[in-house]
Structure 1
Amino acid sequence: MQYSTLTGTELDLSVITFGAWAVGGWMWGGTERKDAVEAIRASYDLGVTTIDTAPVYGQGTSEEIVGEAIKGIPRDRVYVLTKYGMRWDLARGTLASHSKDNAGKNIDIYKYAGKESVVKECEDSLRRLRTDYIDLYQIHWPDVTTPIQETMEAVARLIEQGKVRYAGVCNYNVEQLAEASKYVDVVSNQVPYSMVKRGIEAEVVPYCIDQQKSILAYSPMERGLLTGKIKPGHVFSEGDHRAGLYFFSEENLRRTNAFLETVKPVADGKGISLGQLALLWTVQQPGITIALVGARNAEQAIQNARTTDAGLTAEEIAFISAELNKLELVK
């Protein structure tokens, strides 16, 4: 495993970080707790010391699973990243989505990060994670109903109290990052980034490099699209959000898989999978500090963890990027 220091911190994170959205089950068609715990522990055994989760993933389920999985591991040997600002138990802020919980019950998700909510969410996360501090505390999505100053000052207070070590944000644009940084030392921005979703390259990446802020890339395999395992005609299980995403339309699956065939010789030459190739390309892009990668079972987790056993040359990255530039997906 390779490690990368979160800029301005003492956190030496595993480049492949365990993304715990899917293990929470919500929007992924349910969860198997035993498999999820085994996946996290298998990752840790191979050097994945960093886990990213959030309260809304399974409405507490993901954090509980993470807490169970890291039980018995010395706390200073694992880094726990979680979030706040997505409430399903409080109708305040902005309605983000209508959804269903893992039991099939209708729920509404709100983006809300008022001071009292941030404090409550932190306490709830600490309890579910079975820990007394969070290594990196991140606002999940911008909350336009609460001043950024109010939110960030609440996090700054949690840092003073020792309940949080560092502050991060997710899905922030450059203007929001600059504003947040006035009130607390924002060390990172977690944003979507993959071979087929490269919008952050225009403004966010240059800004973060210039301002020395780390970028945590999520969905680097675009929810499984870039593994090459999902073919036209694939039927997702009930409750799987991917069924409604344009990436997984028949035409886009055809186009993406055709691209993957062109770069498959690079993967074959290194003895790695297409998914691992996508991860390597991602973590070797400018400004990217770590990549968050999900796994539903130990087998997937082990393959993800072994990704950095290989590497790409500058020529290979250039070839892959050139082929990517020919790929056009239909929205």
Structure 2
Amino acid sequence: MEFVTLADTGLRLSRVGLGTWAIGGGWWGPSDRQDSYTTVRKAIDLGITTLDTAPIYGFGLSEEVVGQAVKDSGRRDQVIIATKAGLDWSNNQVVRNSSLPRLTQELEDSLRRLQTDVIDLYQIHWPDPVEPIEETAAFLGQLFKQGKIRAIGVSNFSPAQMDRFRQVAPLHSAQPPYNLFERDIEADVLPYCRQNGIHTLMYSSLCRGLLSGRMGPETTFAAGDMRSGIDPKFTEPRYSQYLKAAAELTQFAQERYGKTLPQLAVRWMLDRPGVSVALWGARKPYHLDAVAGLWGWSLDEAAMQTIDRILQTCIPESIPPSFMAPPVRAA
């Protein structure tokens, strides 16, 4: 396992973290709580110390599972729990809400569900245009000074929004979507974070399973799964284009390195300048089997160029993950 120390905090994060969005079910179809619990325990046993969750994942379910698994492991002092705030589902619709009353309540709820007295990395899940970023930053800055959280992060923020945030409070990390198929942040967010010493936790490392090596034309998705009609990458003709790219990348990974597609995809991320942590989404224990094959090798420039050629040939138009953005509530 590789590790990185989060700037100015002393927090030591495993460079592969467990992403627990799918554990909550919801947009991923039904989720089995026991499988989810066992998956978190396996991640910890594998040396994955970075556990990323959020209240919105299953409306508290993901945090509850993570909290119980960490407690039962007896390794709370070795684990970095990263969670988020700023989404509201109280009126049967998920909207952005970083109002101070909402953030105050979310903190207490997360501490309870996670069965901890401090959150290691606390992140604003999505920017809320209704609330001044400076007020949100000041609130997290106070939590940081009070020792209720050990580090401050944001997710899905632009460089301009991070700039405003940093005028008021320290910003230790950013969490944008990033993977072989979704690279928009290379134009702005990634260089901004590199220039300003902000660590990055990249979500959607396997692009909702498109880089898992387990999908084909015959793959079907349960009702309610975002890949069944919501995510445009999974509708034709785009789906076939991504599957073709995945097949060629699989062949390249096997022939060049003796590795699988997910191992190539995540190693590619870890070798990109400015990438601190790649979040590996899983909700069944076997989803983590390939993690052990990530260490002890890297991609050279020739390999990077070959990968770029495959992507340019197979995918004529890159589709950003903008469909995931929750709506803004009424002012």
Report deviation, 1:262. Answer: 2.5
How many residues end up aligned between the 2 structures? Answer: 315
Q: Is the 8 A contact 1:24 1:57 kept in 2?
A: yes
Residue of structure 2 in register with 1:319 after alignment:
306
Structure 2 residue corresponding to 1:131, chosen from 108, 116, 131: 116
Deviation of 1:153 (Å):
1.1
Q: CA contact under 8 A between 1:42 and 1:302: conserved in structure 2?
A: no
Higher strand proportion, which one? 1
Corresponding residue number in structure 1 for 2:5 = 5
- CA–CA distance in 2 between the matches of 1:62 and 1:310? 32
Q: How does 1:80-159 map to 2 (within 5 A)?
A: 80-89=81-90, 107-159=92-144
Q: Equivalents in 2 of 1:138, 1:198: separation in Å?
A: 22
| Aligned residue in 2 for 1:99 | none
Of 223-232 and 110-119, more deviation after overlay is shown by 223-232
Does the residue aligned with 1:165 lie in a helix, a strand or coil? Answer: coil
Compute the displacement of 1:81 (Å). 0.1
Measured after TM superposition, the shift of residue 216 of structure 1 is 1.2
One-letter code aligned to 1:284: D
Where does structure 1 differ by over 3 angstroms across 4 or more consecutive aligned residues? none
Structure 1 stretch displaced more, 268-277 or 25-34: 268-277
Q: Is the 8 A contact 1:228 1:257 kept in 2?
A: no
Is this contact kept in 2: 1:232–1:250, CA < 8 A? Answer: no
After the TM superposition, which residues 17-28 of structure 1 pair with which residues of structure 2 at under 5 Å, given as runs? 17-28=17-28
Post-superposition offset of 1:305: 4.9
Q: In the alignment, which residue of structure 2 is the partner of 1:228?
A: 213
Name which of structure 1's ranges 174-183 and 312-321 shifts more when overlaid on structure 2: 312-321
1:271 maps onto 2:258 in alignment:
yes
Deviation (angstroms), 1:250: 2.9
Per the TM alignment, residue 233 of structure 1 is displaced from its structure 2 partner at its CA by 4.4
8 Å contact kept, 2:176–2:202: yes
Q: Distance in 2 between matches of 1:236 and 1:74?
A: 35
What's the CA shift for 1:127?
A: 0.3
**Residues of 2 paired with 1:155 and 1:128: CA distance?**
19
Cα displacement (A) at 1:9 = 2.6
What is the aligned partner in structure 1 of residue 189 from structure 2? 204
Partner of 2:59: 59
- Separation of aligned partners in 1, 2:179 and 2:36: 24
* Partner Cα separation in structure 1 for residue 219 and residue 23 of structure 2: 21
Q: Which moved more, 1:80-89 or 1:281-290?
A: 281-290
Structure 2: distance between partners of 1:194 and 1:302 = 19
Distance 1:253 1:272 in 2: 23
Out of 243, 246, 249, the position equivalent to 2:235 is 249
Q: 1:233 to 1:265 in 2, by over 3 A?
A: closer
Aligned partner letter, 2:179: S
User: Following the alignment from structure 1 to structure 2, what is the Cα–Cα distance between the partners of residues 11 and 315?
Assistant: 34
Q: 1:76 is aligned with what amino acid?
A: D
Instruction: Tell me if structure 2 keeps the 8 A contact 1:85–1:118.
Output: yes
- 1:175 deviates by 0.5
- Read off the aligned partner of 1:8 and give its amino acid letter: D
Moved more, 319-328 or 169-178: 319-328
Q: Is the 8 A contact 1:260 1:274 kept in 2?
A: yes
Name which of structure 1's ranges 131-140 and 225-234 shifts more when overlaid on structure 2: 225-234
Please give the per-residue CA displacement for 1:243-268, whole angstroms capped at 9, x wherever unaligned.
12111113222212222232323321
Aligned to 1:173: 158
Q: TM-score, normalised by structure 2?
A: 0.91
Q: Provide the TM-score with structure 1 as the length reference.
A: 0.91
- Cα pair 2:13 2:80 within 8 Å, conserved: yes
Specify the alignment match of 2:176 in structure 1.
Answer: 191
Percent of aligned positions that are identical? 38
How far off is 1:174 after superposition?
A: 0.7
Once the 2 structures are TM-superposed, how far is the Cα of residue 70 of structure 1 from its aligned partner?
0.4
| Alpha-carbon distance change, 252 to 112 in structure 1, aligned in 2, over 3 angstroms | same
Query: What is the distance in 2 between the residues matched to 1:235 and 1:220?
Result: 21
Gaps of 5+ in 2: 320-331
TM-aligned CA deviation for residue 309 of structure 1: 4.9
